[in-house]
């Protein structure tokens, strides 16, 4: 198994030990679409990727004379390995190796679908299905499924939120499967999130693709602005504004008269959120970050 990276947790008390957490993966390079993006399921809290393994090595206690030497050796080993990926939270359906990964709430409760492990009372499901078992019939079963809570009532969140997200991801990531399934079950189209009915997606600048981005606008505050360039460190916006309503977001001030402007921010202000209104960009962002798509009541 290849090592993805190592995380060192130092001891803080005299009777504690330093811990070297070694993350490994059994997949070959290129078989995991998330690793290509620098993400990993196994680094999530309660991560359960079937390809991942976690090994913990401990040092002696902090009060021991050899503690510093052992800690230094741990750090030296960690520096030799690749930088750890980030935890892959809020991802949609993925084909990882020989399995489909379906990270949708309540979905693993469906016992008619062959998940590696179903969820039930006090047991967390493992949302992986073998590739050959993820058939059109399986998709239809998941779409029609109505999970029941402990007292017998229907969990409405599944049909209301999870199924539309699942179908949206399936439509754009695996269009042939979506097309065939929708032909067999026409209600699939009605249940799929339609970006035409969503006015905007609110996200941080980090969600916007880098490079020349002519042709789309973002909404900053109440104003619709053109993004001329975004390279990860600097963003250039242009358009018209009433200075106070727009620039207060960036901690700047001006007069209230509407006028043309070009703004360059480098470094970027912290926690700047923008609302994307271009449909193609919305689709691109939504596919990588499905949690940003908010379903209207």
Last residue of a domain, one of 72, 87, 102: 87
One domain, residues 119 and 184: yes
Question: 49: closest CA among 94, 12, 10?
Answer: 94
Any residues with CB less than 8 A from the CB of 184 and at least 6 apart, and which?
Answer: 136, 140
Q: Tell me, yes or no, whether 175 lies in a domain.
A: yes
Last residue of a domain, one of 54, 87, 120: 87
The predicted structure's pLDDT at residue 206 = 72
Last residue of a domain, one of 193, 223, 251: 193
pLDDT digit string (tens) for 41-80? Answer: 988 876 679 999 999 999 999 999 999 999 999 999 999 9
Would you place residue 272 in the very low, low, confident or very high pLDDT band (cuts 50, 70, 90)? low
pLDDT at 246 over 50: no
pTM (predicted TM-score): 0.78
pLDDT digit string (tens) for 82-137? Answer: 888 988 888 899 999 999 999 999 999 999 999 999 998 778 899 999 999 999 99
One domain, residues 28 and 53: yes
One domain, residues 171 and 241: no
Structural domain that includes position 21: 2-87
Q: Tell me, yes or no, whether 67 lies in a domain.
A: yes
Would you place residue 156 in the very low, low, confident or very high pLDDT band (cuts 50, 70, 90)? very high
3-state SS record for 180-242: HHHHHCCHHHHHCCCHHHCCCEEEEHHHCCCEECCCCEEEECCEEEEEEEECCCCEEEEEEEE
The predicted structure's pLDDT at residue 245 = 46
pLDDT at 267 over 60: no
One domain, residues 106 and 78: no
Domain count for the chain, please give it. Answer: 3
pLDDT at 231 over 90: no
Q: Tell me, yes or no, whether 297 lies in a domain.
A: no
Between 205 and 297, where is the model more confident?
Answer: 205
Q: Tell me, yes or no, whether 153 lies in a domain.
A: yes
One domain, residues 210 and 176: no
The predicted structure's pLDDT at residue 220 = 61
* pLDDT mean across residues, the chain: 83
Would you place residue 188 in the very low, low, confident or very high pLDDT band (cuts 50, 70, 90)? very high
Q: Tell me, yes or no, whether 281 lies in a domain.
A: yes
Q: What is the mean pLDDT of the segment spanning 195-223?
A: 70
One domain, residues 244 and 268: yes
One domain, residues 48 and 98: no
The predicted structure's pLDDT at residue 145 = 97
Q: Tell me, yes or no, whether 150 lies in a domain.
A: yes
One domain, residues 102 and 184: yes
pLDDT at 234 over 60: yes
Q: Tell me, yes or no, whether 128 lies in a domain.
A: yes
Question: 62: closest CA among 19, 12, 21?
Answer: 12
One domain, residues 121 and 77: no
The predicted structure's pLDDT at residue 254 = 47
One domain, residues 189 and 103: yes
Cβ 67 vs Cβ 21: under 8 Å: no
One domain, residues 178 and 231: no
Quote the Cα angle for 50-142-158, to 5°.
Answer: 95
Q: What is the mean pLDDT of the segment spanning 215-236?
A: 65
One domain, residues 75 and 150: no
Would you place residue 181 in the very low, low, confident or very high pLDDT band (cuts 50, 70, 90)? very high
């Amino acid at each position: 198994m290849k090592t993805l990276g190592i995380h060192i947790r130092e001891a803080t008390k005299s009777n504690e030990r330093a811990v070297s957490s070694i993350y490994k993966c059994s997949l070959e390079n290129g078989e995991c679409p998330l690793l290509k993006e620098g993400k990993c399921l196994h680094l999530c809290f309660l991560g359960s990727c079937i390809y991942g393994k976690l090994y913990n090595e401990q040092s002696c206690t902090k009060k021991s004379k050899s503690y510093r030497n052992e800690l230094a050796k741990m750090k030296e080993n960690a520096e030799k390995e690749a930088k750890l990926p980030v935890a892959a939270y809020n991802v949609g359906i993925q084909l990882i190796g020989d399995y489909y990964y379906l990270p949708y709430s309540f979905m693993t409760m469906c016992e008619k679908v062959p998940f590696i492990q179903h969820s039930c009372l006090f047991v967390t499901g493992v949302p992986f299905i073998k590739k050959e078992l993820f058939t059109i019939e399986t998709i239809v079963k998941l779409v029609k499924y109505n999970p029941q809570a402990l007292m017998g009532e229907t969990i409405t969140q599944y049909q209301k939120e999870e199924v539309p997200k699942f179908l949206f991801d399936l439509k754009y990531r695996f269009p042939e499967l979506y097309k065939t399934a929708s032909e067999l079950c026409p209600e699939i189209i009605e249940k799929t999130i339609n970006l035409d009915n969503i006015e905007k997606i609110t996200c941080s600048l980090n969600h916007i693709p880098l490079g020349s981005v002519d042709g789309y606008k973002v909404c900053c505050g109440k104003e619709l602005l053109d993004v001329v360039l975004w390279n990860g460190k600097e963003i250039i916006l242009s358009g018209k504004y009433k200075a106070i309503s727009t620039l207060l977001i960036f901690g700047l001030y001006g007069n209230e008269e509407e006028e043309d402007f070009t703004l360059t921010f480098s470094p970027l202000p912290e926690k700047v959120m923008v609302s994307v209104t271009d449909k193609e960009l919305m689709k691109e962002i939504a596919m990588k970050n499905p949690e940003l798509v908010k379903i209207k009541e």
